[in-house]
Structures are given as structure tokens and as C-alpha cells.
Structure 1
Amino acid sequence: MLSSLTPKSLWTIFNQICQIPHPSHHEAMITKYIVDFAAHHKIECQLDKVGNILLRKNATQGKEHFPSIILQAHMDMVPQKNEDTIHDFLIDPIKPYIDGKWVKAQGTTLGADNGIGLASALAALTDESVEHGPLEVLITASEETGMIGAFGLQPNWFNSRFLINTDSEDEGEIFTGCAGGVDFKSTFAVTYAVIPDFHDTYLRLSLKGLKGGHSGCDIHLGRGNAIKLLIRFLTEYAQDIPFRLSDFRGGSLRNAIPREAFAEITLSQKDLPALQLLIKEFEEILQHEYKHVEPNINLSYTALEKNKVKRVMTTDHQQKILDWLNSAPNGVVRMSNEIAGVVETSLNLGIVEIKENQISAYFLIRSQVDSAKDAVVSSLISHSQLINANYEVSSGYSGWTPNLDSKLLKLAENNYQNIFNQQAKITVIHAGLECGLFTKHYPYLDMISIGPTIVSPHSPDEKVNIDTVEKYWQLLLSILKSADKLV
């Protein structure tokens, strides 16, 4: 039981959050939970027109003179599951369990991103052991699919000058900056033909077993992108087999590294033994190339019923699509020259799908430098134009510029040293935090981001380290208790 863990108030609330479906854009039930939670504890609660929630609580006795602080989290989670897991994220609860030093979920994302942060903010409002000045909790909507709540945040809504974002995922690190991002979609119309008469074998190729992960936090780890790897097989290894492509799909979120990809093909039975040998050869190659990061990588096929495959791509369009996806850029573009070990610019080919005779590829570009982000967009435009594909570029968002003179940063840094007798690492994160968007209407905000250690967010391998949750909680409470030093 999660409620047996420490801090009890945080884990109890997190367990309750896990029982409530709350993927992005389906947040009605979690909103009701938060509103009812506030009413039960007699906490002021407001909602805005885009679904954000603001909670307020007066200072505990003796701390009325402290400056007001905002604790900020987002309410939605990334819905990812293993292919063989039966789970409907709109109705089924997440099933968390304790595995040694970690909390995981059964076959799905756990939602520790950002459920632990949300639980900590609600616990800070209600745990009687927490000492604090005037406290505000800002809970934003649909962060994972474009920061909808942060974009729609209204001016003059909250009173605090200091904000603690709870959405980072490395305990012992205090984040003071983040990457900006922009979405890019490229779409190409597909023409089809009838299946050749001599093609009597229909297969689904499956590339599975990859770890996936967060397209920002994990992009530098060298994990495989299932879309790119399966396309590589079809383009490079299977090129001498006269197969025809009927369908292709991979990935499910533009901000998650694709763990699985699938291709439906037709071919002659006489070519099947050659294909089998190539599959075995390619799987061995991948297992060698990725042995340190993807130990469970698997390429296989299953037979399809003939009536399930109605048509195949024309040979011209098949070749264009394979070349287009095989040459699509993906991964780390540039490391930072300013902060050692931090990715400056990257992109993730997160989704490929075919709908209504169109194949679409979805990319998410991230960078600490806006001009570098624009350069990647320019390269994707050129890449699309090579096959006369249409493209769309979202408005995007800028990064959060570090403020190393931040009073809140210095307080958190000093408190971490005093509590744990070690220095916290001050850094930036190669992911999108909402802090950068808050400055549009609240340019005076002094902000940091802290959190526990969460591994493989945005994938079914997501897990949160139990000990670091307690350390994160201790640091958070120490900041609230000593906030008079911010004056």
C-alpha cells in the first residue's frame, strides 16, 4: 500500500490520484477531485476558462509576514501502455505497486509525472505538520499536449512573487531554466494500387521491446526510436525483396520516444525465407548496436488474414515514403556550449500514422536557443519539400531563461546543503516546463523547479524512487518554513 510510505500525506493523495483517469484533455474527473478536495478542507478554490485551478490558504500561525509562494503542478498525465496491456485510460485506474525502492505501474505509465508534484502541493495545503506563509497552488491543464493551461493563464490571477514548479525529475538538482519547443507535422498524400496477383503472403512486422521515454529528458541516452529502426529495416535490409507496403504506424505521442512500430506488407511466399533471414540478421545487428541501452529489442512478424489487407501503396509512393522517413532527422542535434552535459537542441520523430490516404509524421523540436530551434524547423521544411509534402508548424513556446541571482534559488540551494550535507546541482532541463510561459503575464516571478527522481516518464517503464520523494518533500517544506529569508 502506498499509504504505508513516507510522507504518508503525499503518498495517500498520490494513490487517490492514480484511481482517477486523467490523461491530457480528459481532466474533468481530476478537476472534480481537486475541487471537492478543496471544499472538504475549506480551501479557497477558483477555476479559469481554460481549466486551470488556483487554490489559496492563509499562513500558519506566526508566519503571516512571510512572502506568498506558489506551488505549481499540472493535472494531466501521459497515457502510454504496453501493446499487450489491456487498459482504457479514460475509465481504468492506474495500478501502482511497490517494487523495492521504486513505485511502478502495471503495464502503463505511472503518472508520477506530474502526479507526485500535484500530490505534494495538495499535501502541503492540508498536512498539519507543514509550516508556511500565505500559500497558493496553481494546477494547470493539459500540459503534456502543448501546455494549454500555461498558454491560457490569465494576468492578475495570483499574488505571489515566488513560484516552485514541481515538474522536474532528478532529485538533488534544482532547475532554473528549460528548453523551448515547437511542433512540426508533415503530411504526404498516399496513392494505392491493387495487390499483385503473385503476392500470396500477408504479414505484420513488429519492432517492439524498446524503452521509449521522455523526448526531452531521455533524448541523450541513445535509446532506439522504433519508427526509425523499422523504416531502416525496410529501406536498407529488405530492399532486395519485392514486398509491397500496405500500412505503417509507430509511436503515439510527439513528446515520447516511440517504443513500438508496425508495418503491414505483402510478398510472395517464395520470398518469405529470405525475409526471415533478414529479420534475424537485423535483430542481431540491433541487439549488438543497442546492447547497453535496449536489451529487449525485438523484430518479428505475424501472419495476417488476406481479407484484412485490401490494397498496397504504389511502388513510386512506397519508395518516396521509405526514403522520406529514413532520411528524417531525429535525436540530439547539438549539446550546450554553456552547460556541460546538457542537450541544447534536439528533435523527436514521435508519431507516424496513415489516415484517410495520408501519411503524417509528427516531430517535437526542443532547444534552449530560439534561433537553433528555428534552424531545425527550416531543415524539416526542406525535408518535406523534397517529396512535395505539406507541413504545419505550431506557434511554439520559448524556453525559461536561467536567473542565477534568484533569491529562491539561493534559499533552496542553502537549505539543501544544510539538510543533506551536500551541494545541489544547479542546472537547466532539456524539456518544456511551464515556467517560461508564466513570465508573459508575470515577468517578475522568481522561479525554480524541483522534484523527486522519476525514471522513464512518458513510457510504461516509468517509476519514481521512494527515497527521493521523501528528500524532495523535506526540501519543499524547508523552503516554505524559511521563506522569510526571501524578503
Structure 2
Amino acid sequence: MTALHELQPQALWQWFEQICAIPHPSKHEQALSQFIQAWAKDKQLALVEDKVGNLIIRKPATPGMENRKPVVLQAHLDMVPQKNADKVHDFETDPIRAYVDGDWVTADGTTLGADNGIGMASALAVLGADDIKHGPLEVLLTIDEEAGMTGAFGLEAGMLNAEILINTDSEQEGEIYMGCAGGVDAQITVPMAWQAPEPSNSAFSLSLSGLKGGHSGVNIHLGRGNANKLLARFLFEHGDELALELTDFSGGSLRNAIPREASVGFMLPPENVARLHALVTQFQAMVRAELAIADPEPLLSLKEIPAPQQVMSEEAQNTLIDLLHACPNGVMRMSDDVPGVTETSLNVGVISTDKEAVNILCLIRSLIDSGRSEVEGILTALTNLAGAEVEFSGAYPGWKPDTASPVMAIVRDTYQDIYHKEPVIMVIHAGLECGLFKLPYPDMDMVSIGPTIRYPHGPDEMVNITTVGQYWQLLLAVLERIPEKD
């Protein structure tokens, strides 16, 4: 079996193999950060760790390139921690088991962390090289991009010297990104009241698994199943008929990942158990038919469980089911300005039940502020009608496209010169950090590039080896073509 460090470009893949070996899920990037800091000090590179934990590493220009415009290569330190339900893995202590599968690198039942580990590896490989031509160079590695963009929010004016920023967090070779969506988190709280269950009722857990999931921005337009919404639909359609008494609802694990799995606990009269089994089989067949192309393998599983001490009151249960079923999800509007790109979306990402409430965590994304505000209004109106509450937090701006960007033109022309074809200039429906960087650095010229990554934010994540080489070749050529200072 081919080892990662044997792949080309070797310096990049050696770094990525090292990154996989050090656990670095969102909010737990300290071990990887410390390793990189020790390496930078050993290489005698100038290093700054800012007050929120971002790393800025500086390298002087190579001989003859001292008068070029300074550039910052940017990536984020953290990765999304997602795994299959049957996979035993602790993201805070266990390394990622990455392996080569044909022309792809993937992981054993977990997210790979190519998002944004490949970009991080490329930046560190440039820092460590003696044979790459570049002007004054900075590398910015931010924390917590996947779970709140804490690092990007905390980056202060004056920390960077560069005039140009190359973000390495894009996920399609041949596409150059010059804009991205903004977003905001929405937490819906449905108050809970509890009562004693009917003593003679039987208790079951209904679980949904087998969905593809994926990135709630990049993949939202593909029509994949949302486990939370599908289970809510089952309850809405059959809860009354079966006389269900809910005990809990849980689903998803990240607000920026399409939920692949969800489960609901309930009790029902023994005489309805046979009908329950029949309806579960019928519902699974219907969903598989509806999602035959986008998400063909949803699996519903029933399991008898010990009888709980309490169930939701009828009013609280009805409110929860109605709200979940009515809550919008997926693409809200496609862009008129950028054909084929989602303008506004909503992901019903995480549902959890506690003693006081059922909490529903959603992520709204939009290329335009008015689109984001419209969905905020929809959720506010819906929760008002339901007697629930919604709180919005963590809003971050989009990155407004600049068609006159000089660095975008350099990347476009360089790509065409190398590969003799036009790259696609794109706006991405995802939360790249560039929008936040524009706040302290409004005049910085920005572009985003990367290799082809499939199924980010899910355990099927994989990165294409050939495109990593193409991305690397493009990056080095662009660094060599950065113009002189004005």
C-alpha cells in the first residue's frame, strides 16, 4: 500500500501525513499548533501567535524577489470531526487513518481533514523549501474555522504585512474563487413539558442512517437527505395514527454538516407495534424512491428499548413535530448573478433534547445580507407561531466578488498558461474566511484556490491526488509571478 509521504509533491504530502497524525478537531488544535510552532522555531522562521491562537509565520523573500508585493498564504488549523456510527474513534486523541485508494486519499470511517489540511500542508511546505521562488511571505493559520470562525473574527489589523492573500480552502481544481457566502447560526428552543407514560405502552427507538451528508454549503444544492427532517416527516405523517408518545429526539452533530443520522425515542400501544413496523418499511421505500439519485441508501432501524420514566406532553410533542416539519431546509434561492450557485440556504443541522427543551441548531448562508435577513425572519415568524424561541449568533459577512482583482487575474492567466484552458471564476456557497479578513484589511487583494475534495464534512471525504499536484504547480507559479511593489 502506498504511503502518503511517497506521493508527489512529496513535501506537501509529508506535511499532510504529519497533520493527520496529530488530532486537531475544531477547538482542539493546540497539539498541532504547538508542533508547527516548534518546527518554525527550529527553522528559524519568525513566528507570532496572536491573542486568539492564530499563527503567523514569516519567511524572507528568495534572492532577487525582495521587491515583490508581500503575500500571505492562509489556511485553517482545525478539521471537522465526523465518523460513521459504527466507527470507534476519538478525534481528540486518535490520529486520522488516511490511505491511498487509486487516485484518491481518504480515511478509514472518519473525515479526512483534507479540508483544510491540504492547504495547510502546502503553505508549510513552501515555508520549508529552499528551491521555491517567492517574495516576502507570510503564512496565516487560523483556529476554529469550522465551528465558529473564532480565529478569523479575532484577527486584528496590523498583524499582517501582506498586500495579497491566497486562501487555500477551495475544493475544486480548475475553479478560482473570488467571493463567498456569509452566514449566521440560529438556535431554536422548543420548551418541553413532561408527563408519565401510559404504563402498558411499548418503548422503541427509531434511527435513520446511511445518508451521504456533506458540507452544508458546497453540497446543499445536491438534494441529499437531511436525517432530522426525514424523521420529523415520519412523525408528522404517522405520529397520531400510531399514538406515539415521544421521549427524545437527537440528530446531526455539526451545524455546518448535512445530518446523516438521527434517532427518536417513543412509546406506543402494543396493538400498534405491528403497524409501526409496516409503516417504517413503507416509509423507507418511499424515501429511497424519492432520493434514488441524490441519496439512495437511507436505512431506518427499529429497536425496542427499556420503558422511560416520562414522555413529552401532548402539546409539547405536537409543537415540536409541527415546527420541525414546517421548518425550511436546503436551498432557499439560487443566485441570479452567478448561475449555478446557491444564493441562500438553511441547514437544520443538530437536534438535541434535554430536560427543559429540544434545541435545534441551524446554519443560514447567503451571498447577500438581505437573503440572510429574510431567512432569519422566516424562522422568527415560525417560532412565534409555535410558541418557541430563536436566537441568532455568530453572524459573519460574505466576501463580495471583485471582478477587477489583480491577483485573480494573475491566477487565471497562470492557470491558462500552464494547462491551456480557461479556469472557471466562481463564487462559493460556503463561509470562507476572506469575508472576515476584509474587515481589518479592506484593501487586501484576495483569491481562493485548492485541489478537488469530495464529500467534505463527512466520513466519505476524499482528496484527488492528481489535482493536489496541479494545485501545487499553480500555487508555485503564482508566487513566482507576483508583481513588484508599486
Does the alignment reach a TM-score above 0.5? Answer: yes
Q: For residues 222-268 of structure 1, what are the alpha-carbon distances to aligned partners after superposition, in whole Å with 9 as ceiling and x for unaligned?
A: 00000000110111134311121101100111000000010011112
Matched AA of 2:261 = E
Match in the other structure for 2:408: 409
Q: In the superposition, relative to structure 1, how do residues 315 and 395 fare at CA in structure 2: closer, same or farther (>3 Å)?
A: same
For 2:300, the equivalent position in structure 1 comes to 299
- Deviation at residue 198 of structure 1 after TM alignment: 2.1
1:243-282 alignment, distance < 5 Å: 243-282=244-283
State the AA in 2 paired with 1:138: L
The alpha carbon displacement at 1:356 in A equals: 2.9
Q: Does the Cα contact within 8 Å between 2:214 and 2:456 map onto a contact in 1?
A: yes
Q: AA paired with 1:116?
A: I
Gaps of 5+ in 1: none
1:94 aligns to what?
96
Q: Which residue of 1 aligns with 2:455?
A: 456
* Partner secondary structure for residue 87 of structure 1: coil
* Residue of structure 2 equivalent to 1:352: 351
Counterpart CA distance in 2 for 1:465 and 1:240 is 49
Matches within 5 A, 1:47-58: 47-58=49-60
Distance 1:471 1:412 in 2: 13
Q: Which residue of 2 aligns with 1:321?
A: 320
- Aligned residue for 2:483, secondary structure, equals helix
Q: Can you list the C-alpha shifts for 1:285-333, whole angstroms capped at 9, x where unaligned?
A: 0110001111221111112133xx2211111211111001110111100
SS in 2 for 1:394: strand
CA distance in 2, matches of 1:108, 1:4: 22
Residues 1:362 and 2:354 are matched in the alignment: no
Large movers: runs of 4+ above 4 Å: none
- The 5 Å alignment of 1:40-439 reads 40-199=42-201, 201-306=202-307, 309-439=308-438
Aligned-pair RMSD on alpha carbons? Answer: 1.1
Q: Which AA in structure 1 matches 2:184?
A: V
Tell me what 2:479 maps to: 480
TM-score computed with the length of structure 1 as normaliser: 0.98
- CA displacement, residues 370-403 of structure 1 (integer Å, 9 cap, x when unaligned): 0111011011011111122122111511110111
Deviations 1:146-189 (A, max 9, x none): 11111111111111100000011111000000001011111021
1: CA distance between counterparts of 2:341 and 2:296? 25
Task: Tell me if the contact between 1:112 and 1:464 (Cα under 8 Å) persists in the aligned partners.
Answer: yes
Q: Report what 1:15 is aligned to.
A: 17
* Identical-pair percentage: 49
The answer (yes or no) to whether the contact 2:167–2:447 under 8 Å persists in 1 is yes
Kept in 1: contact 2:74–2:140 (CA 8 A): yes
C-alpha contact (below 8 Å) 1:408/1:486 kept by paired residues? no
The residue matched to 1:441 in structure 2 has which SS?
coil
The 1-side partners of 2:353 and 2:219 are apart by 27
Cα distance in 2 for partners of 1:239, 1:390 equals 25
**Deviation (angstroms), 1:65:** 1.7
Task: Provide the aligned length of Structure 1 versus Structure 2.
Answer: 484
Helix, strand or coil for the counterpart of 1:215?
Answer: coil
Structure 1 residue 82: Cα displacement: 0.8
Contact 1:244 1:267 in 2 (8 A): yes
2:222 counterpart letter in structure 1: L
Q: TM-score, normalised by structure 2?
A: 0.98
Name structure 2 gaps, 5 residues minimum.
Answer: none
Aligned partners of 1:330 and 1:349 also within 8 Å: yes
Cα shift readout 1:124-164 (whole Å, capped 9, x = no counterpart) = 11122321111100111111111111111111111110000
| 8 Å CA contact retained: 1:238, 1:278 | no
Distance in 2 between residues matched to 1:188 and 1:127, nearest whole Å: 55
Q: The residue matched to 1:443 in structure 2 has which SS?
A: coil
1:197 Cα shift?
1.9
Whichever residue aligns with residue 181 of structure 1, its letter is G
